[in-house]
Amino acid sequence: MTQGLSSDKLRKGSTGFDRGAGVLRDQLKTMPESAGVYRMLAADGAVLYVGKAKNLKKRVTSYTQRARLPNRLQRMVAQTRSMEIVVTHTETEALLLEANLIQRFMPPFNVLLRDDKSFPYILIARDHLFPSLLKHRGAKGRKGWYFGPFASGGAVTETLILLQRAFMLRNCSDSFFAARKRPCLQYHIKRCTAPCVGKVGEKDYAAQVDEARAFLSGSSQNVQAELAAQMEKASQRQEYERAASLRDRIRVLTSMQTKQDINVAGLGDADVIALHQQNGATAIQVFFFRADRNFGTRTYFPTHDRTVESGEVLAAFIAQFYADKEVPPLLLLSEMPEEPTLLAEALTEKAGRKVSLIVPKQDKKKRLIDHALANASQALARRQADSAQQKKHLEQVALIFHMKKPPQRIEVYDNSHTSGTFAVGAMIAAGPEGFLKKTYRKFNIKTAQSNDDFAMMREVLTRRFTRLLTEDPQHQSDMWPDLLLIDGGAGQVGKVRTVLTEMGVTDVALVGIAKGPDRNAGRERFFVDGKAPFSLPHDDPTLYYLQRLRDEAHRFAIGTHRARRTKAITASGLDEISGIGAARKRALLHVFGSAKAVSGAGIDDLTRVSGISPALAKKIYDTFHGNG
């Protein structure tokens, strides 16, 4: 349901708030008194705010009463030119929908959780006779047992190394496994029992898998007790080498449990969430506990107006945080969020089981919250210090390059290729909060000659700004740069300016940065339209800042190029055959060991592979023998 502003509400002398309130009053004429979600829209259709209500009519009516609204919501109403609503069956359903819509539209007047990273898990894959132990991120599409989430990839890697030492499960790919003729290094350093060459049978390997699953599921004491009993028996039978191996495994398991900063017996699966506010900014610390063990911690800095109270911020954070993540049965909180009962009902409905929100007052759980609060406080202090330093850098950049105000977004471009092959362009961005990594962009060069650096830059800039002009022609989003930093001298700057002018982009500052004689870092020269080239003192902090931006663009471009080159080198001919998906490719590699062996196989041999029909076998054969 959408309705714009009627002409009688645009009468001369009306304030911005009056105009917005007029939109809402028009909408109220047909507004239902049921639960739902509403969206406030600006003149250009941009979403200003997303909210939910048990009674839409009552909630929207409240926005027309100026005296009862904080300044933040008065500004929001003043910008509102139309409105959309979605009716839901319950307020719980409305809360879940609200969280999803906020993540989708990122409205400026909402509390926003800016987090685009999925959490990593440990996976014991079950789609092979001898399951592998792996790090997994993304959709849980592969058959197996998942354990997590972990706070970071580093935490998973560290845990995997210890698990391999303790349980000696393989971590290789199925194709690598199938091709082995003798044990690999993992076997010799005692991190795998080498099922690939028959060093361990299916039954004994399954026992290893069961032990690892039990340990990760919380039965660590039972696993250690069983290993201790096996060690005692081996010692009694004078199998001292086996006893020593079991002793080493027990030590690893003990170190895994004692190494963690916090261990709380009986906690089970829970997330600890602590909020700290200072000077209108917020830090939220999350500890992840699974099976009594700490799986790491992560800090979040939600974006919101300085006047928003902590309870509202915490409620918005929890709703958005679990919109696309699994919810544990227990959330330990530093304080109660707004509408805790409704929030618990929504999380319970999403999880399919009871979810409890608790603010502990004593014992070990209270100490957990205190520890998380201390971490949140320290993280916010560090962030504010970093922000102050970033602000100084941007102020100096504006001064040096004669900009009217400090840039809020700097974009830096670079190209990379190997003798004209696998050419890519890269863009990085930075602002008051440092590097804006989620807005980095990669460009596979499509039309330009790969040995013509400027032609590649022209293609990259054209694609970048064509999209910007299409999606935001009014320059209202924070994706428009204030400054472009180009690797090159006066010629490069002039050519780039020509490209931008041809596209009608004339309000973006442009600076070229070129290394000095012999390409020595520290003797860079800067090129700005209409000004003579100049250098900065070698010990100038702003020079270091600009060098860091350029080096980050170079790092990102090189990494993107190498990834593309590696993908091309490791690509299998099987990837180009229609009808060969991941499962059939895995089956072929499992039987033949490598793509090269598949290419030399006959039609009859191919047909014997599970999932490969005679017609598909002929297609594979023809592809590798020039008949496709």
Query: For position 568, what pLDDT does the model report?
Result: 62
2-105 folds as: GIY-YIG endonuclease (3.40.1440)
Confidence of residue 569 (pLDDT cuts 50, 70, 90): low
Listed range (50-59, 116-125, 483-492, 505-514) with the worst mean pLDDT = 116-125
Cα–Cα–Cα angle for 452, 453, 456, rounded to 5 degrees? 90
Distance CA 547, CA 535 (A): 12
pLDDT tens digits, 72-124:
899 999 999 999 999 999 999 999 999 999 988 999 999 998 765 678 899 99
Q: Taking 90 as the threshold, does the pLDDT of residue 25 lie above it? A: yes
Average of per-residue pLDDT across 5-21 = 57
Domain 270-381 top-level CATH class: alpha beta
Confidence of residue 206 (pLDDT cuts 50, 70, 90): very high
Q: Taking 90 as the threshold, does the pLDDT of residue 277 lie above it? A: yes
Confidence of residue 263 (pLDDT cuts 50, 70, 90): low
Distance CA 83, CA 41 (A): 6
pLDDT tens digits, 305-337:
888 999 999 999 999 999 888 899 999 999 999
Residues in a beta bridge with 421: 418
Query: For position 236, what pLDDT does the model report?
Result: 81
Residue with tokens 């009627």: 6
Is the pTM above the cut of 0.75?
A: no
Higher-scoring residue by pLDDT: 150, 99: 99
What is the helix (H) or strand (E) element at residue 381, kind and residue range? Answer: helix 363-400
- Sign of CA pseudo-dihedral 290, 375, 114, 468: negative
Query: For position 538, what pLDDT does the model report?
Result: 84
Confidence of residue 201 (pLDDT cuts 50, 70, 90): very high
CATH topology of 270-381 equal to that of 410-568? Answer: yes
Average of per-residue pLDDT across 374-396 = 90
Domain 410-568 has CATH 3.30.565.10: no
CATH code of the domain made up of 573-624: 1.10.150.20
Q: Whole-number mean pLDDT of the chain?
A: 85
Q: Taking 90 as the threshold, does the pLDDT of residue 393 lie above it? A: yes
Distance CA 115, CA 316 (A): 13
Average of per-residue pLDDT across 431-441 = 89
Higher-scoring residue by pLDDT: 609, 117: 609
Residues in a beta bridge with 121: 136
Query: For position 116, what pLDDT does the model report?
Result: 59
Query: For position 325, what pLDDT does the model report?
Result: 87
DSSP assigned state of 473: T
Query: For position 94, what pLDDT does the model report?
Result: 93
Confidence of residue 163 (pLDDT cuts 50, 70, 90): confident
Query: For position 448, what pLDDT does the model report?
Result: 66
Percent of the chain predicted with pLDDT > 70: 90
Listed range (320-329, 371-380, 561-570) with the worst mean pLDDT = 561-570
**φ, ψ (nearest 5 deg) of residue 260:** -70, 145
Where along the chain do its domains lie?
2-105, 120-258, 270-381, 410-568, 573-624
Distance CA 576, CA 537 (A): 54
Average of per-residue pLDDT across 452-460 = 84
Higher-scoring residue by pLDDT: 230, 502: 502
Confidence of residue 418 (pLDDT cuts 50, 70, 90): low
Query: For position 333, what pLDDT does the model report?
Result: 97
Q: Taking 80 as the threshold, does the pLDDT of residue 207 lie above it? A: yes
Q: Virtual CA dihedral for 179, 182, 185, 187, nearest 10 degrees?
A: 110
Distance CA 214, CA 186 (A): 23
Q: Taking 70 as the threshold, does the pLDDT of residue 573 lie above it? A: no
